[in-house]
Amino acid sequence: MNLLQPAKWVELYGDYLLKFALFRLNDVALCEDLVQETFLAALKASENFKGESSEKTWLTSILKNKIIDEYRKKSRSKIVDDETQQEETDFTDFFEKNDNDFGHWQTEQKPIAWEKSILDKMVTQEYYQVLKKCMRKLPELQFNLIQEKFFIENDPKNICKKYNISQSNYWVMIHRVHMVLRKCIEINWVK
Amino acid sequence: MKIVRFISISCKESTQLSTKKLEQKLSWKEAILLQFHILICTPCRYFQQQVNAIHSSIRNLISNDKILNTKLSEEKKIDMQAALNKAQSEIPSN
């Protein structure tokens, strides 16, 4: 317990944790509740804190589990997940499947040119809204990977360990994320 | 034709390499294969350019986003700290 300073948590980590949750859930009231629950859960579990990670990392991991619970509440049925999982690994929704061929783009999936004026606008609030919308559409694990990679700046080795996935699986998923995000932005922003 | 095969990668592989390139340095062989492919394949050239742009836009989102300017209100902070203090006082060992 003496490793932790609950009296300073709200001041030190409140805003950070709120942002962390908002990035994922986009509902201020819900996120505030989750932050509060995180502090209370942390207090109850304080004996488990061994000081191996920082207080901040530890609190964040508790919050993350709460966010994942929220997602479970909303998640689709398992059967649908299995189907998309299949699609996710063979990429047949993007590329033609033909052993003798070079794996060309499906006609309707071919990237189109984005004008320079479009690329220049990728710093506007309108664009960020589209980007966030597209990111939220990602399956949970893929979204978590993106969050780890960009928001927490965790390196791939640690991420793989944490989510118990192989390096090659990690790359397949990041590849997948790029394919899906690009397409989603093209549909919702460029066209 | 064999030589073309040898130095050719599929569009799928090219997009994989474009992805990988954002995270780590490609081997010289991978770098050449990707460059060669992109030279002759317009959709994959667009893909690389656009994915690069999206990648940096996510970084910008994280540093500029309105979310990052959202803060807990002072009231909310006081409420939270009060709940925390109350919970703490209820733990007998402390």
**pLDDT for position A76:** 45
* DSSP letter assigned to residue A105: B
Residue A68: band (very low, low, confident or very high) from pLDDT cuts 50, 70, 90: confident
Is the per-residue pLDDT at B44 higher than 80? yes
Distance set, CA A21 to CA A13, A39, A60, A64, A113 (Å): 12, 13, 9, 8, 35
Confidence label for A87 from pLDDT (cuts 50, 70 and 90) = low
Question: What band does A92 get if pLDDT is binned at 50, 70 and 90?
Answer: confident
Q: How far is it, in rounded angstroms, from Cα B25 to Cα A174? A: 16
The confidence score (pLDDT) of residue B39 equals 94
Residue A81 has pLDDT above 60, yes or no: no
Given a contact cutoff of 8 angstroms between Cβ atoms, the answer to whether B38 and B30 are in contact is no
Contact at CB, B47 and A9, closer than 8 angstroms: no
pLDDT, averaged across chain B: 85
Distance CA A166, CA B63 (A): 30
* pLDDT value of residue A79: 38
Contacts of A103 (CB under 8 A, 6+ apart): A95, A96, A97, B10, B11, B12, B13
Instruction: Confirm or reject contact between B23 and chain A (CB < 8 A).
Output: yes
Percent of chain A with pLDDT over 90: 34
Q: Is the pLDDT at A67 greater than 60, yes or no? A: yes
| Nearest chain A Cα distance for residue B29, angstroms | 18
Residue A47: the pLDDT is 85
Neighboring chain B residues of A91 at a CB cutoff of 8 Å: 12
Domain A6-74 has CATH 3.40.140: no
pLDDT reported for residue A162: 82
Distance of CA A36 to the CA centre of its chain: 22
User: What is residue A77's predicted lDDT score, i.e. its pLDDT?
Assistant: 36
CA nearest neighbour of A63 among A43, A35, A24 = A35
- Facing residue for A14 by CB, picked from B53, B60, B72: B72
ipTM over 0.90: no
DSSP state of A109: G
Say if residue B43's pLDDT is above 90.
yes
Q: Are A4 and A49 in contact (CB under 8 A)?
A: yes
* Structure tokens given for A85: 């999982």
In the predicted model, is pLDDT for residue A126 greater than 70? yes
Average pLDDT, chain A: 83
Top CATH class, A111-190: mainly alpha
How many C-beta atoms lie closer than 10 Å to residue A132's C-beta? 16
User: Has residue A72 got a pLDDT over 70?
Assistant: no
Structure confidence by residue, pLDDT tens digits, B55-68:
999 888 876 655 66
Domain boundaries, chain A: 6-74, 111-190
Check CB contact under 8 Å for A111 and B46: yes
Using pLDDT thresholds of 50, 70 and 90, give the confidence band for residue B88: confident
**Type of residue found at A134:** C
Top-confidence residue, B71 or A72: B71
Q: How far is the CA of A68 from the CAs of A59, A72, B16, in angstroms?
A: 14, 6, 28
